[in-house]
A = this chain, B = another copy of it.
């Protein structure tokens, strides 16, 4: 069996590393001359909207998936003429537009922060009157890692934010004081079978995930599974999905979903019976899903901007390195390390030296 991936970054790399043991070969399409998935895939260099590159990817593979949600919709349409692409165009179109996403959450009874569509400065004024300040103005499309959004604190911020984001269609979201940021990662098979990973508790800085912790038995687990379960069933979803949630005094509120493997699930490589990467491959290839049960308690620390010395990471107990083979660059995710321990009481102490290493090399 042969899997094609749009995108050749670290998610494609880790998908490929988990596909090979299943006997599945992997081809990638990416515009970069040597993206980090290249050493472990049959690598095609080409633009995501290049018809010949897409045709070649489809021709070399049985099923296509993608590692990021900003794939051109037209590319997905072209690929779907050649064969199956998972997750499907409906999930992708929804995930590509923050307004569609929030509207779907509302339709499915998945609570969200208050939101309003913003198509022009007058809309923005109205939305602020309705939702109050502070609030967050986000472009409907093409945002990630904190990009494409502005915090509005006072009425004077509105015009500048609208212009700074490019005067494009936006969504205004109420600012929600949260107790925790959580994500639930689920996987759904073509036959409707579903499985849910233990929740991740996430810490961001400058809009970029820094730390994900997973302790089995989180009191919000059941609620989170119910919410993401509605989403995947409605979308007739195939593959891994990540639903980001705020835990607030009003309960869980959905922030956004990613129709792919997710940074907050990297700990599953060691901390779950089957990793999110393997389960995504299993799902899209029509193979039986693997168990999502926890193997101990786990945490993941991102390396942003540059990697610490590998030897310094590898001396830390219960710690597993995942370098992405990427050149250092400010704000870039260049690797991560996971801690996995059967003794949950040890988790915090094990993570601390890893965070110190990450902070020493991180920009900002």
Q: Which residues of A are interface residues toward B (Cβ below 8 A)?
A: 13, 17, 20-23, 25-26, 39-42, 273, 282, 287-288, 290-291, 295, 307, 310-311, 314-315, 317-318, 320-325, 335, 342
A1 CB to nearest chain B CB (Å): 8
Please name all residues of chain B whose beta carbon is closer than 8 Å to the beta carbon of A320 when the two chains form the complex. Answer: 21
Contact B20 A13 (CB under 8 A): yes
Given contacts A23-B323, A295-B295, 4 further A-B contacts (CB under 8 A): A21-B321, A21-B322, A23-B321, A23-B335
Contact A291 B311 (CB under 8 A): no
Q: Pick from B39, B40, B288, B322: contact of A314, CB below 8 A.
A: B288
A156 CB to nearest chain B CB (Å): 47
A320 CB to nearest chain B CB (Å): 8
- A307 and B20 contact, Cβ closer than 8 Å, known pairs A39-B40, A40-B39: no
A308 CB to nearest chain B CB (Å): 11
| CB-CB nearest in chain B for A16 | B40
- A282 and B314 contact, Cβ closer than 8 Å, known pairs A21-B17, A307-B23: yes
Q: Pick from B21, B39, B288: contact of A311, CB below 8 A.
A: B288
A174 CB to nearest chain B CB (Å): 40
| CB-CB nearest in chain B for A315 | B288
A175 to B140, CA, bound (A): 76
Contact B310 A23 (CB under 8 A): yes
| A-B pairs with lowest CB-CB distance, top 8 | A23-B323, A21-B322, A288-B314, A288-B315, A40-B40, A287-B314, A287-B311, A22-B321
Please name all residues of chain B whose beta carbon is closer than 8 Å to the beta carbon of A291 when the two chains form the complex. Answer: 317-318
A273 to B290, CA, bound (A): 20
| CB-CB nearest in chain B for A286 | B311
| CB-CB nearest in chain B for A25 | B39
Please name all residues of chain B whose beta carbon is closer than 8 Å to the beta carbon of A307 when the two chains form the complex. Answer: 23
- 18 A-B pairs within 8 Å (CB atoms) are namely A13-B20, A17-B17, A17-B20, A17-B40, A20-B40, A21-B321, A23-B310, A23-B324, A23-B325, A23-B335, A25-B39, A287-B310, A287-B311, A288-B311, A288-B314, A288-B315, A291-B317, A291-B318
